[in-house]
């Protein structure tokens, strides 16, 4: 990987983070994006950049990997909102630092996507808009083309409201099967959505139920609503490279939080690590082992556990969180590897099956961007 020319496919958080890092280290980067702008699969909806899984604050991590905060990024602590369980008990938790940072996704000026685009362009990344790349012609490449299947979905709306800045989280299988619903409010704009890990065919029913619950627990004005849908994709084992030359990053590789779908930080970190592997001529696999693999494996174990808790278990968890002086250490412990999570992980791997139809090409040692066969995390290389 000694060439100073690198191809990147996909202008999502993973691809843009990789491009920024490479250009700052003297590389010439051509970034191919099939759309004419960034963030077009989003709807100006608010999302959360989680801040509990690492000892280091998320904003410090972003600064360390060379990402500036030139986008909406507001801290929300436990005192800024509430959680409701299946019995609709109102629970507020205590946090020693922000629980998450509220960000906006989409093509609006203050979105994360536009912020990363501006940083990439200012650094000198050559972004080729409206160009879909099918192969990379034996070049060094990073592919971060996003999710390919719906393993979890969200149905929601963005709207205007007079509510003060706040958040509400709901855990209840009757409105969000095996997942959660949420309200995020910032400066007169809001996002409300319900997420589902199963029973997708009844998404409208769950959405209506979730709206009824929202209106029951809070007095809220909903103005100029616009509905949206979304999805995430995760694997039971990431696929990270092809011939150690085409490196997969973000959701395209399977770097996604299987428990809640908080995958933005994983996407950006995987893009950064892919770039570092090229810059420092190090194994991408080894770099990912230091941070990403343990967390991805633990998140799959957490998904198995959460899916088997049901509403009774959700009530117990929320009541336990309510009694804590600080939920951050407990959440961090839950998100990091342990002997019990290592034991559960193989069970979760056998239990979980992605909805992705894994189409393969027939080429030997191929340069195809779209096919997914390649090197599995902790596995031997499988060439096509």
- Domain range 5-41+53-71+107-149+234-376, CATH architecture: 3-Layer(bba) Sandwich (3.50)
- The predicted-structure confidence for 194-252, as pLDDT tens digits, reads as follows 999 999 999 999 999 999 999 999 999 999 999 999 988 877 788 888 888 899 999 98
pLDDT at 370: 46
pLDDT at 2: 47
349 within 8 A of 236, measured Cβ to Cβ? yes
Residue 299 CA, distance from chain mean position: 12
Alpha-carbon span 162 to 157, nearest angstrom? 16
pLDDT, position 1: 43
The domain locations on the chain are: 5-41+53-71+107-149+234-376, 152-232
C-beta of residue 298 within 8 angstroms of C-beta of residue 345: yes
Low-confidence stretches of the chain (pLDDT beneath 50): 1-2, 360-363, 370, 378-384
What angle, rounded to 10 degrees, do the helices at 284-307 and 339-351 form?
Answer: 80
Length of the chain: 384
- pLDDT at residue 358, as a whole number: 53
């Amino acid at each position: 990987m000694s060439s100073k020319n690198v191809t990147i496919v996909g202008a999502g958080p993973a691809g843009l983070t990789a491009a920024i890092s490479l250009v700052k280290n003297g590389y010439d980067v051509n970034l191919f994006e099939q759309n004419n702008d960034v963030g077009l699969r989003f709807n100006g909806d608010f999302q959360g950049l989680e801040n509990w899984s690492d000892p280091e604050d998320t904003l410090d991590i972003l600064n360390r990997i060379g990402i500036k905060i030139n986008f909406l990024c507001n801290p929300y602590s436990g005192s800024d909102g509430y959680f409701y369980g299946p019995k609709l008990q109102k629970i507020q938790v205590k946090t020693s630092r922000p629980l998450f940072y509220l960000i906006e996704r989409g093509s609006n000026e203050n979105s994360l996507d536009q912020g990363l685009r501006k940083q990439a362009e200012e650094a000198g990344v050559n972004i080729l808009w409206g160009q879909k790349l099918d192969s990379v012609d034996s070049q060094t490449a990073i592919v971060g083309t996003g999710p390919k299947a719906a393993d979890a979905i969200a149905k929601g709306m963005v709207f205007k409201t007079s509510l003060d800045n706040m958040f509400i989280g709901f855990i209840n299988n009757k409105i969000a099967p095996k997942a959660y619903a949420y309200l995020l409010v910032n400066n007169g704009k809001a996002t409300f959505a319900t997420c589902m890990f199963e029973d997708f065919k009844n998404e409208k029913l769950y959405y209506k139920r979730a709206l009824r619950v929202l209106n029951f627990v809070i007095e809220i004005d909903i103005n100029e609503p616009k509905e949206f849908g979304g999805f995430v994709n995760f694997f039971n084992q990431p696929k990270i490279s092809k011939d150690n030359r085409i490196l997969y990053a973000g959701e395209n590789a399977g770097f996604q939080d299987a428990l809640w779908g908080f995958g933005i930080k994983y996407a950006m970190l995987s893009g950064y690590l892919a770039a570092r592997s090229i810059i420092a001529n190090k194994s991408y696999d080894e770099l990912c082992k230091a941070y990403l693999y343990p967390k991805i494996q633990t998140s799959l174990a957490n998904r198995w556990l959460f899916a088997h808790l049901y509403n009774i278990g959700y009530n117990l968890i929320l009541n336990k969180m309510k009694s804590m002086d600080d939920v951050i250490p407990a959440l961090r412990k839950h998100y990091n590897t342990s002997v019990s999570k290592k034991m559960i992980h193989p069970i979760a791997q056998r239990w979980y099956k992605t909805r992705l139809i894994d189409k393969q090409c027939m080429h030997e040692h191929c340069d195809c961007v779209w096919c997914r066969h390649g090197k599995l995390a902790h596995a031997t290389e499988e060439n096509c």
